[in-house]
Amino acid sequence: QPVVAVVGRPNVGKSTLVNRIIGRRQAVVEDVPGVTRDRVPYDAQWNGRAFTVVDTGGWEPDAKDRAAAIAAQAETAVVTADVVLFVVDAMVGSTDVDEAAVKMLRRSAKPVILVANKADNNSIEMEATSLWSLGLGEPFPVSALHGRGSGDLLDAILAALPEAPAIVENRPRGPRRVALVGRPNVGKSSLLNRFSGEERAVVDSVAGTTVDPVDSLVEIGGQTWQLVDTAGLRKRVGKASGTEYYASLRTAGAIEAAEVAVVLLDSSEPISEQDQRILSMVTESGRALVIAFNKWDLVDADRRYYLDKEIDRELRRIPWAIRLNLSAMTGRAVDKLAPALNKALASWETRVPTAHLNQWLTALVQATPHPVRGGRAPRILFATQAGVAPPRFVLFTTGPLDAGYQRFVERKLREEFGYEGSPIEISVRPRK
């Protein structure tokens, strides 16, 4: 169960806030300066999520060793916590003790929610905006006593919590589903033939799995894969017989049915509009993607030079796709296909713990904040990963983000966590 630590000076109302969060009157002793309480955990729930709140008691800012006491208290609380609620008295504003604590919290890199407590009315709530100066992002004005603002605060806590205990993704444990797609003549059948051998490795049924009749189980790199719509690859539909419309429907269907797509391109020819359409189908579907440049045996130094330029130009939207240069004819690099598929699928199913994600994000937005627009810069408060296959993220912000800044976050997210071979989706949820 995730842990939320409540940290703050004595008398800022931590106990009242804990009472408010756990939603019942419990004998939580009010902070008394100079008296250290044991850290007491309480069970809390909000919107069906359970978490533990740890009331860390008061600091002992005894004049002599004040900084050390603060450091020790903040650190123990924070080490075990997934999220820290840093409580400040909105009527008093920030004090030097608060500022010292902020330094410790920053160093911990845990997600911190700044709570401006005792914001019992609008005018104190307005005052609370001065707490921006603490550098912890937007203060959440709350009246723990009267309940004002506590719903928003609880929403923010949930958003910052780690994912609910991993719901085991119960994907049927059969072979992974692959779509082998590409325009006519790029070499799909030739590549398929390489894997299946003389149909040797193609099995039509495996105990416990059901395979669509148009699919085949094919061995690639010592592993069994379910190649979707192999019927369409095997039957050499005469080039003239199938309309492009029909071929494109079939391609879309195969991609939808698959988890990862291999888009075959013909390296000896320019990347065409049809190639681009097929690539777009994959990226729009959210499937993992491996691009295989087939007929690499036909690529000489000259062609290579132009091809590199073309790739930079034509594939710049999908720099994350895994690329392979292979030849279905000679067998070159064909053994790289299975590792590439596995890599892409692993990226596709990557889940980053919320605490880790937010540690990284805090550092990122500190180093490169959102540019100021019209006197204000929206801030990213937290992020959570909402799902996998592909990885989906939600950014909780104080306002809409610039498209450019969002792309920057995506690029940095990829730099940090990889996702090679997988699209990722980011959505922004501005508060209120």
Please state the residue numbers annotated as binding site for GTP. 8-15, 55-59, 117-120, 182-189, 229-233, 294-297
Distance, in Å, from the CA atom of 247 to the CA atom of 297, rounded to the nearest integer, reads 27
Q: Contacting ligand GDP (CB under 6 A), which of 10, 57, 139, 182?
A: 182
Q: How is 285-304 classified by DSSP, letter by letter?
A: HT-EEEEEEE-GGG--HHHH
Q: Contacting ligand GDP (CB under 6 A), which of 121, 129, 185, 366?
A: 185
Which range touches ligand GDP (CB under 6 A), out of 22-30, 101-109, 128-136, 188-196? 188-196
Work out whether 327 is an interface residue with ligand GDP (CB under 6 A): yes
- In whole angstroms, how close is the CB of 262 to ligand GDP at the nearest point? 11
Helix-, strand-, coil-residue percentages of the chain, each rounded to 5: 40, 20, 40
Q: Contacting ligand GDP (CB under 6 A), which of 36, 52, 190, 359?
A: 190
Q: What is the four-CA torsion angle of 381, 386, 391, 393, rounded to 10 degrees?
A: -20
Q: By the 8 A CB rule, do 98 and 65 touch?
A: no
Q: Contacting ligand GDP (CB under 6 A), which of 186, 220, 255, 322?
A: 186
Total residues at the site for ligand GDP (CB under 6 A)? 15
Work out whether 230 is an interface residue with ligand GDP (CB under 6 A): no
Work out whether 188 is an interface residue with ligand GDP (CB under 6 A): yes
Please name the residue ranges forming H helices in 23-95: 66-80
Q: Contacting ligand GDP (CB under 6 A), which of 297, 310, 314, 420?
A: 297
Q: Contacting ligand GDP (CB under 6 A), which of 328, 357, 361, 380?
A: 328
Residue (97 or 328) nearer to ligand GDP, CB: 328
Distance, in Å, from the CA atom of 367 to the CA atom of 361, rounded to the nearest integer, reads 10
**3-state class (DSSP) for residue 224:** strand
Annotated binding-site positions: 8-15, 55-59, 117-120, 182-189, 229-233, 294-297
- In whole angstroms, how close is the CB of 414 to ligand GDP at the nearest point? 31
Q: Contacting ligand GDP (CB under 6 A), which of 201, 329, 346, 426?
A: 329
Work out the widest C-alpha separation in the chain, in whole angstroms: 89
Work out whether 294 is an interface residue with ligand GDP (CB under 6 A): yes
Distance, in Å, from the CA atom of 409 to the CA atom of 32, rounded to the nearest integer, reads 44
Question: In one letter, which amino acid is 49?
Answer: R
Q: Mark 329-364 as b/e (b = at least 16 C-beta within 10 Å).
A: beebbbebbbebbebbbebbbbebebbebbebbbeb
Work out whether 19 is an interface residue with ligand GDP (CB under 6 A): no
Closest CA to 355 of 80, 50, 17: 80
Q: Contacting ligand GDP (CB under 6 A), which of 8, 187, 391, 423?
A: 187
Work out whether 269 is an interface residue with ligand GDP (CB under 6 A): no
Residue (182 or 378) nearer to ligand GDP, CB: 182
Binding residues for ligand GDP, rule: CB under 6 A, are 182, 184-190, 294-295, 297-298, 327-329
